[in-house]
Amino acid sequence: MSGHEDFDGQVMGDKTYQQALVLMDQQDPLAEKTAAFEVPRDLVYLDGNSLGCLPLAAKQRAREVVEQQWGQDLIKSWNLHQWIDLPVSAGEKIARLIGAAPGQTICCDSVSVNLFKLLSAALAMQTGRHVVVSQQGNFPTDLYMVQGLVRQLGGDRCCLQRVDDDDIGSALTDDVAVLLLSHVNFRSGALYDMQAITAQAQARGILVIWDLAHSAGVLPVQLDACNVDFAVGCGYKYLNGGPGAPAFLYVASRHQSQARQPLSGWMGHLAPFDFDHDYEPAPGVAGFLSGTPPVISMSILDAALDVFADVDIRQLRRKSLALAGVFLQAVEQSPRLSGLCLLSPADEAQRGAQLAYRHPHAFAICQALIAHGVIADFRAPDILRVGFSPLYLRFADVGRSVEVLTRIMQEDLWRDPAYAVRHKVT
Ligand X SMILES: *Cc1c(COP(=O)(O)O)cnc(C)c1O
In 165-276, where does DSSP find H-type helix?
168-171, 194-202
Q: Is residue 162 a contact residue for ligand X (CB under 6 A)?
A: no
Q: Segment 217-256, which members bind ligand X (CB under 6 A)?
A: 234, 247
In 203-358, where does DSSP find H-type helix?
295-305, 313-333
Say how far apart CA 128 and CA 131 lie, in whole Å.
10
CB 142, min distance to ligand X, A = 5
Measured from the CB atom, the residue of 234 and 396 that comes closer to ligand X is: 234
CB 212, min distance to ligand X, A = 8
The sign of the dihedral angle between the CA atoms of 415, 418, 420, 425 is: negative
Q: Please list the residues that pair with 358 across neighbouring strands.
A: 341, 383
CB 224, min distance to ligand X, A = 21
CB 409, min distance to ligand X, A = 28
Which one of 31-39, 135-143, 150-158, 367-375 is the stretch in contact with ligand X (CB under 6 A)? 135-143
Q: Is residue 119 a contact residue for ligand X (CB under 6 A)?
A: no
Q: Is residue 111 a contact residue for ligand X (CB under 6 A)?
A: yes
Say how far apart CA 378 and CA 47 lie, in whole Å.
10
Q: Is residue 34 a contact residue for ligand X (CB under 6 A)?
A: no
Instruction: Count the alpha carbons within 13 Å of 138 in the hemisphere toward its beta carbon.
Output: 29
DSSP one-letter string for 249-279: EEE-GGGTTT---S---GGGBS-GGG--SS-
Say how far apart CA 97 and CA 93 lie, in whole Å.
7
Measured from the CB atom, the residue of 50 and 104 that comes closer to ligand X is: 50
What mask, x for binding ligand X by CB under 6 A, covers residues 185 to 224?
-x------------------------x-xx----------
CB 236, min distance to ligand X, A = 8
State which H helix or E strand residue 408 sits in: helix 395-410
Q: Is residue 146 a contact residue for ligand X (CB under 6 A)?
A: no
Selected from 141, 200, 253, 410, the binder of ligand X by CB under 6 A is 141
CB 155, min distance to ligand X, A = 24
Which one of 16-24, 74-82, 137-145, 147-155 is the stretch in contact with ligand X (CB under 6 A)? 137-145
Q: Is residue 110 a contact residue for ligand X (CB under 6 A)?
A: yes
Q: Are 210 and 231 in contact (CB under 8 A)?
A: yes
Measured from the CB atom, the residue of 3 and 291 that comes closer to ligand X is: 291
Selected from 139, 192, 230, 419, the binder of ligand X by CB under 6 A is 139
Say how far apart CA 334 and CA 329 lie, in whole Å.
9
Q: Which residues contact 412 (CB under 8 A, 6 or more apart)?
A: none
Q: Are 133 and 179 in contact (CB under 8 A)?
A: yes
Measured from the CB atom, the residue of 187 and 407 that comes closer to ligand X is: 187
Which one of 104-112, 195-203, 322-330, 347-355 is the stretch in contact with ligand X (CB under 6 A)? 104-112
Q: Which residues are catalytic?
A: 139, 211, 236-237, 385
Measured from the CB atom, the residue of 184 and 413 that comes closer to ligand X is: 184
**CA 87 to chain CA mean position, Å:** 18
Measured from the CB atom, the residue of 213 and 368 that comes closer to ligand X is: 213
Q: Is residue 389 a contact residue for ligand X (CB under 6 A)?
A: no
Measuring CA to CA, how many Å separate 360 from each of 243, 341, 404, 414? 30, 10, 19, 12
159-163, strands of its sheet edge to edge: 105-107, 248-251, 230-233, 207-211, 176-182, 131-135, 159-163
Q: How many binding residues for ligand X (CB under 6 A)?
A: 13
Which one of 17-25, 136-144, 152-160, 218-226 is the stretch in contact with ligand X (CB under 6 A)? 136-144
Q: Are 400 and 10 in contact (CB under 8 A)?
A: no
CB 258, min distance to ligand X, A = 25
Measured from the CB atom, the residue of 111 and 177 that comes closer to ligand X is: 111
| Angle formed at CA 163 by CA 157 and CA 164, multiple of 5 degrees | 170
- Applying CB under 6 A, which residues contact ligand X? 110-112, 139, 141-142, 182, 186, 211, 213-214, 234, 247
